[in-house]
């Protein structure tokens, strides 16, 4: 039997989940996060008895201290963040969370000029140019953007990005929701396709990735946000560890599915790399849910990245393979047509 001390980190994760969604004062019937936390506490109390009762208040206080320290960190001026951390935040926002950060910028209280500067940094095509833009802009704008990025990273476990109601020419929905599992190795263009759909507002869509729960721990471990071979290997290894511990990525995605099911969105895009994780996710979807799998590929993405998450994406039988070698606008339109066809039932869907 594992030692009680080995259970502390998971206890803190569950309690942190409650704090993030303000569920500490809610009933277990009103909050999934509170129900998970209380169930885990009851399990520990049953197994360890008074030993757990004695340490529980100390564990809870440690979690509260860590939680509020994180909030204070997000409000720190840039002078109290190292340049390396600031640049890592910018890269992470641009690479992994552009939709959420852009949405948060738009919804912020800053004036139009400052919002424009922040959006230019996030949306600039090249990382090097974005970093230069960042350092060239006003200190106040840099501080505002850093705060938005760090709050977004902390909330990613709970916040699901949903577009507003679709405009004319939107993806047509015959009345059923659709779950799309997207895969593809590094540089295949998955994010670009999603960004195209968001930019032209062609889908009332939600998107999440199995890597989302890994980003904040990776940055805590010193990751600088770069999609290098070493950076990708770190994310892959951390994800494997979290999977072995408690199947965190799939639990995260299933929770996002339930929020999607209750929303007005039509399509849930889920990015999962490992074939076994795709099967695990599909198996946990409720019966009757329409789900399809798409492999995004292009010649540039054929190289080996030296981590199993990227290098083994071909070891799965996908419903569709999308070749992303055309110019961005051409590929984007073709991708929308593919999604339309799946929604309307003119091409196959599980």
Contacts of 208 (CB under 8 A, 6+ apart): 160, 252, 253, 256, 268, 269, 270, 271
Residue 319 has what pLDDT? 92
Residue 173 has what pLDDT? 43
Q: Encode pLDDT of 74-108 as tens digits.
A: 555 555 678 888 888 898 888 777 777 887 888 78
Q: Encode pLDDT of 197-242 as tens digits.
A: 766 544 577 788 888 888 877 877 778 777 788 888 888 888 888 8
How far lies 185's CA from each of 53, 195, 215, 268, 311, in Å?
47, 17, 18, 20, 7
High-pLDDT (> 70) share of the chain, %: 82
Burial tier of 61 (Cβ tally within 10 Å: 0-12, 13-18, 19+): exposed
Residue 214 has what pLDDT? 84
> How far is the first Cα of the chain from the last one, in angstroms, to the nearest whole number?
41
CA distance 209 to 242: 14
Which position has the token pair 């939680």? 67
Residue 68 has what pLDDT? 66
Helix (H) or strand (E) holding 267: strand 267-271
- Is residue 174 predicted with pLDDT exceeding 50? no
Contacts of 243 (CB under 8 A, 6+ apart): 249, 250, 277
Backbone dihedral angles phi then psi of residue 92, each to the nearest 5 degrees = -65, -40
CA distance 276 to 299: 24
pTM of the model: 0.58
Q: Contact 20/157 with Cβ under 8 angstroms?
A: yes
Closest CA to 51 of 6, 14, 81, 17: 6
Domains of the chain: 4-74 (no CATH), 79-155 (no CATH), 178-344 (3.40.50.300)
Q: What's the full length of the chain, in residues?
A: 350
């Amino acid at each position: 039997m594992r030692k009680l001390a080995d259970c502390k980190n998971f206890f803190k994760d569950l309690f942190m989940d409650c704090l993030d969604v303000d569920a500490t004062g809610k009933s277990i019937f009103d909050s999934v996060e509170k129900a998970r936390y209380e169930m885990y506490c009851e399990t520990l109390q049953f197994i360890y008895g008074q030993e757990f009762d004695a340490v529980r208040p100390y564990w809870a206080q440690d979690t509260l201290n860590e939680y509020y320290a994180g909030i204070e960190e997000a409000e720190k001026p840039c002078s109290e963040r190292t340049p390396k951390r600031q640049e890592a935040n910018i890269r992470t926002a641009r690479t992994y969370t552009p939709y959420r950060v852009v949405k948060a910028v738009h919804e912020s209280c800053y004036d139009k000029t400052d919002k424009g500067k922040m959006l230019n940094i996030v949306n600039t095509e090249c990382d090097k140019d974005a970093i230069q833009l960042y350092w060239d802009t006003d200190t106040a704008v840099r501080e505002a953007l850093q705060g938005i990025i760090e709050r977004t990273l902390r909330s990613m476990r709970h916040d699901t990005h949903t577009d507003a109601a679709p405009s004319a020419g939107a993806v047509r929905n015959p009345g059923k929701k659709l779950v799309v599992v997207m895969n593809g190795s590094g540089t295949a263009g998955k994010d670009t396709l999603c960004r195209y759909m968001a930019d032209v507002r062609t889908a009332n869509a939600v998107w999440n990735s199995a890597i989302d729960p890994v980003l904040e721990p990776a940055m805590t471990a010193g990751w600088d946000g770069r999609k290098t071979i070493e950076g990708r290997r770190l994310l892959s290894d951390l994800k494997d560890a979290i999977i072995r511990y408690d199947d965190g990525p799939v639990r995260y995605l299933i929770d996002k599915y339930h929020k999607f099911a209750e929303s007005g969105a039509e399509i849930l895009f889920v990015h999962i790399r490992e074939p076994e994780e795709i099967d695990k996710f599909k198996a946990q979807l409720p019966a009757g849910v329409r789900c399809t799998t798409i492999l995004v590929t292009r010649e540039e993405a054929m190289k080996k990245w030296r981590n199993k998450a990227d290098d083994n994406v071909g070891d799965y039988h996908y419903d569709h393979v999308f070749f992303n070698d055309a110019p961005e606008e051409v590929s984007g339109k073709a991708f929308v047509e593919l999604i339309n066809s799946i929604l309307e039932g003119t091409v196959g869907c599980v």
